[in-house]
Structure 1
Amino acid sequence: MYSIGKNIGILNRQFNIFLNRELVGTGLNATEFMYIGYLYQNNGIMQDELAREFLVDRAAITRTLKNMEEKGFVDRVRSKEDGRERRIYLTEKARSYEKLAESIQEKYIRAAGDLLDGQRQREIEDTVSFMVRLIRRINQNLEEG
């Protein structure tokens, strides 16, 4: 039986394999690298905002960010507005990987481009983005009600 969920899971695992292979020697794993990529554009966001963006629970994001802090990639700073909350800032070490992030993204896009034309790539990206928004809405409605 055809399963969108199964195929999305496989796609995610294969993408993580690709990232982990590219990240050998950096001290980062795929999840940490995706967080850093998001923080390049959103440096200083609240830890809970990052958890919501990636749809992970507070305990998981706390563990990952604590590990990243110990490795010197982020600083977790208590919020002045709410002392229970932490803002996440990239360190210079993390910033030094920005060019690598760009090259990995370009490599992935080139590889996908060899298999898909630009129009098909945009259609897939639009469809996946729509599915993420949809499932977020479905889960939010279930939580509320």
Structure 2
Amino acid sequence: MVKEDTRLAALGFRVGTLHRLYLLCMRDSMINMDISVSLIPFLGELYHYDGISQDMLSERVNMDKGSTARAIARLERKGLVRRDENKSNRREKLVRLTAKAIGMREKFFSPLYKMSRIMSKGFSIQKRNQLLESFDSMTENLQCELTRQRRRGRNVPKKHQGVRRRQPVKKGTSG
């Protein structure tokens, strides 16, 4: 008797596989616009919420602030976004699309819509809507879990909670 491959029964394994395949398929479409697949969520969110704060963008795409800052810097170098100071809170940066980005909106979304059609090929509208509702529920479940973990210990494995991390040795000093 052949033992069932437990990876195939694991939801996380399947979601991960789907995500990697999606990125591979999207890579060629985005390369024509000089956009790496890692920038898709940031640019996509800005098309819907142009002018939001950098922190809010981090939250909306579920990425840490450092990754968001690096992604925005890359989008700035490509001339697609700019960071403006929030006049009511000078410490806050608002991320705005440039005219160049606004001009390529249709070209950006076209392959995303196409990939959605390919992924849901053969699905009835009802089945597609059920799937979207399931994804929304799973997303909410994981966001709640992440919040719970952060409250307990900032998403650090239990064995490392309360342990001070060694500071890196600076160049030119002995440690």
Question: Common fold, TM-score beyond 0.5?
Answer: yes
Query: 2:42: which partner in 1?
Result: 35
Q: Which runs of 5+ in 1 are unaligned?
A: none
Identify the structure with bigger relative contact order (alpha carbons < 8 Å, sequence gap 6+).
Answer: 1
Q: Percent identity?
A: 21
Task: Report 1:1-145 matches (<5 A).
Answer: 1=6, 2-145=9-152
CA contact (8 A) 2:81 2:95 kept: yes
Deviations 1:55-80 (A, max 9, x none): 11111100110011011010011222
Q: The residue matched to 1:84 in structure 2 has which SS?
A: strand
Separation of aligned partners in 2, 1:19 and 1:4 = 22
CA contact (8 A) 2:84 2:93 kept: yes
Structure with the larger helix share: 1
What residue identity is the alignment partner of 2:20?
Answer: R
Separation of aligned partners in 2, 1:85 and 1:9 = 34
CA contact (8 A) 1:45 1:88 kept: yes
1:26 deviates by 0.7
1:82 deviates by 2.7
1:110 deviates by 2.7
Q: The residue matched to 2:147 in structure 1 has which SS?
A: helix
Q: The residue matched to 2:96 in structure 1 has which SS?
A: strand
Separation of aligned partners in 2, 1:9 and 1:86 = 33
Deviations 1:81-114 (A, max 9, x none): 3333210000111112211233223312332343
Q: The residue matched to 1:115 in structure 2 has which SS?
A: coil
What residue identity is the alignment partner of 2:137?
Answer: F
Q: The residue matched to 2:35 in structure 1 has which SS?
A: coil
Q: TM-score, normalised by structure 1?
A: 0.91
Separation of aligned partners in 2, 1:31 and 1:123 = 27
CA contact (8 A) 1:19 1:29 kept: no
Q: TM-score, normalised by structure 2?
A: 0.76
